[in-house]
Amino acid sequence: MPPAGGRSAAQARQHLLGLLAPAIEATGHDLEDVSVTQAGRRSLVRVVVDADGGVDLDAIAEISRVVSDVLDDDADGGAAFAGPYVLEVSSPGIDRPLTERRHWRRAVGRLVSTTIADRGLTGRVLDVDDRGVAFDVEGSRAEAPWSQLGRGRVQVEFSRAEAEEG
């Protein structure tokens, strides 16, 4: 089933981003992404949200109610999909790329792999400011201006908690 109203999938996504972002921001969270796929006769609406300090289950429940209300109110022809839908609200996974300043800010203290001016770097994020990101790379401070910083990816550390306890 194509998006409602003769829209392309990209137009439908932009419509949903514009529709849902203000409502989600009013809860104190950021809308990271939204997608619509077909699941049988229903549309599956996936909404990804985040916030400083993370997102807990109470927040997911609150955002689900808010998003559902907005989508139900938009059913007058402006919807990005037609017919019944299933709503899935979640937070981004560990594998989400760090592309926005807020992503980097939320990664302070985490081990991250990225590129700086097309050179690979793995280090712990120390600080994020208007100039860029500062890393601890094997005990040395490295700074990356926003203009040279590539996409980052948080590295999973299984032994970090044990190292801090000992």
Q: How far, in Å, CA of 128 to CA of 49, rounded? A: 21
Q: Which CATH number fits domain 101-165: 3.30.479.10, 3.40.50.720, 3.30.540.10, 2.30.30.100?
A: 2.30.30.100
Evaluate if residue 28 carries a pLDDT over 90. Answer: yes
Question: What's the CATH number for 4-90?
Answer: 3.30.300.70
Give residue-wise pLDDT tens across range 106-143: 999 999 999 999 899 999 999 999 999 999 999 999 99
**Domain ranges in the chain with CATH number 3.30.300.70:** 4-90
**Domain ranges in the chain with CATH number 2.30.30.100:** 101-165
Confidence (pTM): 0.73
Task: Tell me how far the alpha carbon of residue 81 is from its chain's centroid.
Answer: 22
Counting other chains too, the contacts that 121-128 makes at CB distance below 8 Å and 24 or more residues apart are 122/155, 128/101, 128/104
